[in-house]
């Protein structure tokens, strides 16, 4: 494998006596789009600010292109950054905002004008050059902030929750635009978010963070389908968790809510009598039987939420409610609360959390 473009090695950060980042390690390939995903206060922004040079690590090293940049000042790093609050200069026009970094670097007027025009075309706002930030929508301001960050041709792009101040529709369209611009330029990017859907939809890889540590780093498919820890399993997507006791380890049966469930090939390393948590995504569970589903539980419809294309159903199983999603089908009436039912799933889809 080629050397990583960005390498964060054993980085730690303390504020006073409080350590907020613990032995953080991450290698990012050139051109990769990596998200830091985690709850508020887990240290995402602090790691990003150390890469940008706004915070100094208490320990560890940060390398870009094989060169140690840990002690370089922000303006020596050639890194572009976009913040949550658009942070445009209110007294400068759009063109002046985009050209700001080039002007500070001493570029010629002709070069600045050419680059500003290129950037306005890239973000599809060619008519906006002479406007002021207050004359733009939030989404447009954030696109200008992106153009301003990209204008000096940085080696690395850092995005700190750039979409969280925008309304839902703009957020989705802008995240797609950011991703397509990132691919077009091939620029290595780190994107901080606490929104799991956002991270799943645009990242090559996600670093899920909790308590100042990277809990798991992997592609969205891997993070969602094979969460490495209980935290990742719960934080990313909706998850049903059922406590069970192994009734026969060799036969692969677990007692859940007073019913025996067969879990072929899932109990390696478990012994009869062990307690386990079994986790299942709503979309892995069917109402009634389904081909390929080798496990089932009896229950009762407790709640039905019509969400349009999907119906989310809660089924009571031995005092516990299990959420499942069924696709809406206009010729099949929705389930009725109080009806007895059976839910089924494939034992292959069960995550066993120890």
Residue with Cβ nearer ligand ATP (20 or 129)? 20
Contact 136, 147 (CB under 8 A): no
Among 1, 40, 307, 333, binds ligand ATP (CB under 6 A): 40
Strand order in the sheet with 253-256: 259-262, 253-256, 240-248, 275-280, 351-353
Q: Using alpha carbons only, what angle is made at residue 109 by residues 108 and 115, rounded to the nearest 5 degrees? A: 90
Number of Cβ within a 10 Å radius of residue 333: 7
Residue with Cβ nearer ligand ATP (22 or 255)? 22
266 lies in the site for ligand ATP, by CB under 6 A: no
91 lies in the site for ligand ATP, by CB under 6 A: no
Per-residue x/- mask for ligand ATP, residues 168 to 197, rule CB under 6 A?
A: --------------------------x---
Cα of first residue to Cα of last residue in the chain, in angstroms, is: 33
Among 6, 8, 35, 38, binds ligand ATP (CB under 6 A): 38
Closest alpha carbon to 68 in 154, 9, 156: 9
Query: Distances from the Cα of 80 to the Cαs of 105, 124, 145, 309, 315, in angstroms?
Result: 14, 19, 10, 40, 49
Shortest spacing between CB 118 and ligand ATP, in angstroms: 32
330 lies in the site for ligand ATP, by CB under 6 A: no
Among 5, 37, 44, 119, binds ligand ATP (CB under 6 A): 44
What is the phi-psi region of residue 169: left when phi exceeds 0, alpha when psi lies from -120 to 50, beta otherwise?
alpha
Among 9, 46, 189, 323, binds ligand ATP (CB under 6 A): 46
Tell me the window of 42-50, 149-157, 177-185, 299-307 that interacts with ligand ATP (CB under 6 A): 42-50
Residue with Cβ nearer ligand ATP (42 or 286)? 42
Q: Using alpha carbons only, what angle is made at residue 342 by residues 339 and 343, rounded to the nearest 5 degrees? A: 120
- Give the three-class secondary structure for 114: helix
Shortest spacing between CB 226 and ligand ATP, in angstroms: 24
Core vs surface per residue 46-55: b (16+ CB within 10 A) or e? bbbbbbbbeb
Tell me the window of 22-30, 41-49, 324-332, 339-347 that interacts with ligand ATP (CB under 6 A): 41-49
282 lies in the site for ligand ATP, by CB under 6 A: no
Shortest spacing between CB 55 and ligand ATP, in angstroms: 8
Shortest spacing between CB 333 and ligand ATP, in angstroms: 43
Among 19, 20, 138, 260, binds ligand ATP (CB under 6 A): 20
Closest alpha carbon to 105 in 144, 75, 139: 75
Tell me the window of 38-46, 132-140, 223-231, 331-339 that interacts with ligand ATP (CB under 6 A): 38-46
43 lies in the site for ligand ATP, by CB under 6 A: yes
15 lies in the site for ligand ATP, by CB under 6 A: yes
Q: How far apart are CA 147 and CA 130, in angstroms?
A: 15
Number of Cβ within a 10 Å radius of residue 85: 14
Shortest spacing between CB 161 and ligand ATP, in angstroms: 7
41 lies in the site for ligand ATP, by CB under 6 A: yes
Question: Site residues (CB under 6 A) for ligand ATP?
Answer: 15, 20, 38, 40-46, 194
């Amino acid at each position: 494998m080629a050397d990583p473009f960005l390498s964060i090695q054993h980085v730690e950060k303390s504020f006073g006596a409080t350590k907020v980042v613990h032995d953080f390690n991450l290698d990012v390939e050139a051109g990769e789009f990596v998200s830091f995903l985690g709850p508020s206060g887990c240290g995402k922004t602090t790691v990003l600010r150390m890469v940008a040079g706004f915070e100094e690590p208490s320990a560890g090293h940060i390398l870009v292109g094989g060169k140690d940049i840990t002690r370089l000042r922000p303006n020596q790093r050639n890194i572009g950054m976009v913040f949550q609050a658009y942070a445009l200069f209110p007294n400068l026009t759009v063109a002046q905002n985009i050209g700001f970094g080039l002007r500070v670097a001493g570029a010629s007027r002709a070069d600045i004008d050419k680059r500003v025009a290129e950037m306005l075309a890239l973000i599809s706002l060619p008519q906006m050059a002479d406007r002021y930030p207050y004359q733009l929508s939030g989404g447009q301001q954030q696109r200008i902030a992106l153009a301003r960050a990209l204008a000096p041709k940085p080696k690395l792009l850092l995005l700190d929750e750039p979409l969280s101040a925008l309304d839902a529709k703009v957020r989705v369209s802008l995240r797609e635009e950011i991703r397509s611009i990132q691919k077009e330029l091939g620029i290595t990017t780190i994107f901080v978010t606490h929104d799991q859907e956002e991270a799943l939809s645009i990242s090559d890889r996600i670093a899920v963070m909790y308590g100042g540590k990277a809990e798991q780093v992997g592609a969205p498919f891997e993070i969602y389908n094979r969460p490495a820890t209980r935290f990742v399993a719960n934080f990313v997507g909706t998850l049903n968790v059922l406590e069970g006791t192994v009734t026969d380890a060799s036969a692969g049966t677990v007692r859940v809510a007073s019913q025996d469930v067969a879990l072929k090939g899932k109990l390696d390393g478990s012994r009869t009598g062990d307690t386990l948590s079994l986790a299942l995504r709503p979309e892995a569970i069917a109402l009634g039987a389904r081909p390929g589903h080798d496990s089932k539980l009896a229950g009762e419809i407790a709640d039905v939420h019509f969400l349009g294309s999907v119906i989310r159903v809660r089924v009571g199983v031995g005092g516990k409610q299990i959420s499942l999603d069924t696709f809406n089908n206009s010729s099949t009436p929705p389930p009725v609360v109080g009806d007895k039912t059976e839910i089924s799933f494939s034992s292959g889809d069960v995550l066993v959390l120890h």
